[in-house]
Chain A
Amino acid sequence: MNHRSLAFRLAVWYALLLSATFALVGTGMFYGLEQYLRSGLADSLRRRSTQIEQILADAPVDVSDGAIVESIETRIAAEFNNRFVRVTRERSGLVYRSGVPADRSFNPAAIPPLGPPWPARGIARRTGSVMESATAIDTASGRYLIELGASLEPIETLQAHLLRLLGMLLPVLVACAAGGGYLLVGWALRPVDRISQSAELMSLQDVDSRLPVLPSGDALARLSISLNHMLGRLRESVQTSRRFLADASHELRTPLTVIKGELQEVVRTETMSQALHDRIGSVLEEVARLEHLVSGLLVLSRLDVGEAQREWVDVDLAELSAGTAEQMRLMAEDRGIHLVSAALRPVVVHGDRARLKQVIVNLLDNAIRFTPRGGTVTLGAVVGDAFQALEIRDTGIGIPAAALPHIFDRFYRVDEARTRADGGAGLGLSIVRSICVAHRAEIEVDSEIGRGSCFRLKFPVRP
Chain B
Amino acid sequence: MRLLIVEDDRKLAEFVARGLRAESFAVDLAGDGREGEAFIDAYHYDLLILDLMLPRLSGTELLRRVRKSRPTLPVLVLTARDATDDKVAHFEAGADDYLTKPFDFAELVVRVKALLRRSPQERADVLRIANLELNRLTQQVRRDGQRIELTSKEYGVLEYLMSNPGRVFSRTMILEHVWDQSFEGVTNIVDVYVRYLRRKVDEPFPVKLIHTVRGVGYCVRDSESAAG
Listed in ascending order, the chain A residues whose CB lies under 8 Å from chain B are 250-251, 253-258, 260-265, 267-271, 277-278, 280-285, 287-288, 291-292, 294-296, 298, 302, 307-308, 310-311, 324, 327-328, 330-331, 334, 352, 354, 357-358, 360-362, 365, 423, 425, 428
Asked whether B215 is an interface residue with its Cβ less than 8 Å from the other chain, the reply is: yes
Q: In the complex where A302-B83, A307-B85 touch, is A280 in contact with B186 (Cβ < 8 A)? A: no
Q: Is the CB of A261 within 8 A of B16?
A: yes
Q: Is the CB of B228 within 8 A of A267?
A: yes
Using Cβ atoms and an 8 Å threshold, which residues of chain A touch B9? 254, 258
| Contact of B182 (CB < 8 Å), options: A254, A277, A295, A358 | A358
Using Cβ atoms and an 8 Å threshold, which residues of chain A touch B170? 264
Q: Which of B189, B193, B214 has the most CB of A within 10 A?
A: B214
Q: In the complex where A282-B215, A295-B82, A365-B186 touch, is A261 in contact with B19 (Cβ < 8 A)? A: yes
Q: Is the CB of B182 within 8 A of A354?
A: yes
State how many angstroms separate the Cβ of B47 from the closest Cβ of chain A.
18
Of chain A, the residue at the smallest CB distance from B186 is A365
Using Cβ atoms and an 8 Å threshold, which residues of chain B touch A285? 214-215
Which B residues, 136 to 180, have Cβ-Cβ distances below 8 Å to chain A? 151, 153, 168, 170-172, 179-180
A308 to B87, CA, bound (A): 13
State how many angstroms separate the Cβ of B76 from the closest Cβ of chain A.
14
State how many angstroms separate the Cβ of B170 from the closest Cβ of chain A.
8
Listed in ascending order, the chain B residues whose CB lies under 8 Å from chain A are 9, 11-12, 15-16, 18-19, 22, 80-85, 88, 101-106, 151, 153, 168, 170-172, 179-189, 192-193, 195-196, 213-216, 226-228
State how many angstroms separate the Cβ of B113 from the closest Cβ of chain A.
17
Q: In the complex where A268-B168, A271-B228, A280-B215 touch, is A330 in contact with B82 (Cβ < 8 A)? A: no
Q: In the complex where A271-B228, A282-B215 touch, is A260 in contact with B104 (Cβ < 8 A)? A: yes
Using Cβ atoms and an 8 Å threshold, which residues of chain B touch A423? 188
A331 to B175, CA, bound (A): 14
Q: Is the CB of A361 within 8 A of B187?
A: yes
Using Cβ atoms and an 8 Å threshold, which residues of chain B touch A311? 84
Using Cβ atoms and an 8 Å threshold, which residues of chain B touch A250? 80-81
State how many angstroms separate the Cβ of B85 from the closest Cβ of chain A.
5
Q: Is the CB of B85 within 8 A of A308?
A: yes
State how many angstroms separate the Cβ of A177 from the closest Cβ of chain B.
63
Extra 12 A-B pairs, beta carbons < 8 Å, given A268-B216, A334-B192, A354-B182? A254-B12, A257-B103, A262-B15, A264-B104, A264-B170, A267-B227, A268-B213, A271-B226, A327-B183, A328-B189, A354-B180, A365-B186
Using Cβ atoms and an 8 Å threshold, which residues of chain B touch A287? 215
Using Cβ atoms and an 8 Å threshold, which residues of chain B touch A263? 215
A285 to B171, CA, bound (A): 11
A358 to B187, CA, bound (A): 12
State how many angstroms separate the Cβ of B71 from the closest Cβ of chain A.
27
Using Cβ atoms and an 8 Å threshold, which residues of chain B touch A265? 15, 18-19, 105
State how many angstroms separate the Cβ of B18 from the closest Cβ of chain A.
8
A432 to B153, CA, bound (A): 26
Closest CB pairs A-B (n = 7): A284-B215, A281-B214, A292-B185, A281-B215, A257-B102, A253-B101, A256-B102
A358 to B151, CA, bound (A): 23
Using Cβ atoms and an 8 Å threshold, which residues of chain B touch A330? 151, 153, 189, 192-193, 196
Q: Which of B151, B189, B196 has the most CB of A within 10 A?
A: B189
| Contact of B15 (CB < 8 Å), options: A258, A280, A357, A360 | A258
Q: Is the CB of A310 within 8 A of B88?
A: yes
Q: Is the CB of A428 within 8 A of B186?
A: yes
Q: In the complex where A256-B101, A258-B15 touch, is A264 in contact with B216 (Cβ < 8 A)? A: yes
Of chain A, the residue at the smallest CB distance from B228 is A268
A254 to B81, CA, bound (A): 11
State how many angstroms separate the Cβ of B79 from the closest Cβ of chain A.
9
